[in-house]
Amino acid sequence: MYLRYFLPVYLLVYILTAFVWRSYLVWKHTGINPVTFKGSDNAHDFVGRVFKLVFVLVVLVIFVYSFLPFAYLYTSPIQWLERTWLRSIGVLLLLLSLVWTAVAQSQMGEAWRIGIDTENRTPLVQKGVFLISRNPIFLGMMTTLLGFFLTIPTALTLLAFVLGVVSIGVQVRLEEEYLVQVHPEAYRDYRQRVRRWL
């Protein structure tokens, strides 16, 4: 029962922490809008649209689960995964991923962006959690999606998780190509020392 209250509060805190607050800080310190997705038809902007779909799916399921429990069956629950211990693991993953993501974003500082910023060159961040993962924020996002799926195992949260993992995989590879162009030697060295995920 506590999940009906926890999940919407968590989602709000996650959005404020991982997107709104960090975007505001980058904009305030640099004058640059950190959101780089536009409306073009290239791979980068297509991934941005998939991210939006994933976000809508997660918000929809949490809203239905928390505020319209009579409609929860329409999200196609996966009942054999509705176990207390799995939900507890899901909640733990949600909490850990929030802290991990916030720390990674803080360590990126003014270099943090949503997408690839081809107009403003940023430094290659190689400190903190970036010493053990080249993509700690994306790793945190995938862990968040897994946490949502384990907490509310439905066809829609499974779809959000799969779409999220695939689109993050594409985005990471697009960013790697860009970083090789912008920081050729430094990024090649970094890539040899630090794994993509962990």
Question: For residue 38, what pLDDT is reported?
Answer: 87
For the residues 9-18, what does the mean pLDDT come to?
96
pLDDT band per the 50, 70, 90 thresholds, residue 36: very high
Question: For residue 155, what pLDDT is reported?
Answer: 97
Q: Which residues of 29-67 are buried (b: 16+ CB within 10 A; e: fewer)?
A: eeeeebebbeeeeeebeebbebbeebeebbeebbebbbe
- Residue 188, phi-psi category: left (phi > 0), alpha (psi -120 to 50), beta (remainder): alpha
For the residues 154-175, what does the mean pLDDT come to?
98
Question: For residue 1, what pLDDT is reported?
Answer: 67
Work out the mean pLDDT of the chain and round it to a whole number.
96
H or E stretch at 122 = none
For the residues 78-101, what does the mean pLDDT come to?
97
Identify the CA nearest to 8 among candidates 69, 75, 51, 50: 69
For the residues 24-50, what does the mean pLDDT come to?
93
Angle of helix 155-182 versus helix 136-151 axis, rounded to 10: 180
Question: For residue 119, what pLDDT is reported?
Answer: 92
For the residues 37-66, what does the mean pLDDT come to?
94
pLDDT band per the 50, 70, 90 thresholds, residue 39: confident
Q: What is the DSSP string of 10-77?
A: HHHHHHIIIIIIHHHHHHHHHS---B---S-SSHHHHHHHHHHHHHHHHHHHHHHHHH-GGGGGGG-B
For the residues 86-107, what does the mean pLDDT come to?
98
Residue 46 is encoded by which pair of tokens?
């297509």
Question: For residue 30, what pLDDT is reported?
Answer: 94
Q: With pLDDT > 70 as the criterion, what percentage of the chain qualifies?
A: 99
Question: For residue 79, what pLDDT is reported?
Answer: 96
For the residues 161-166, what does the mean pLDDT come to?
98
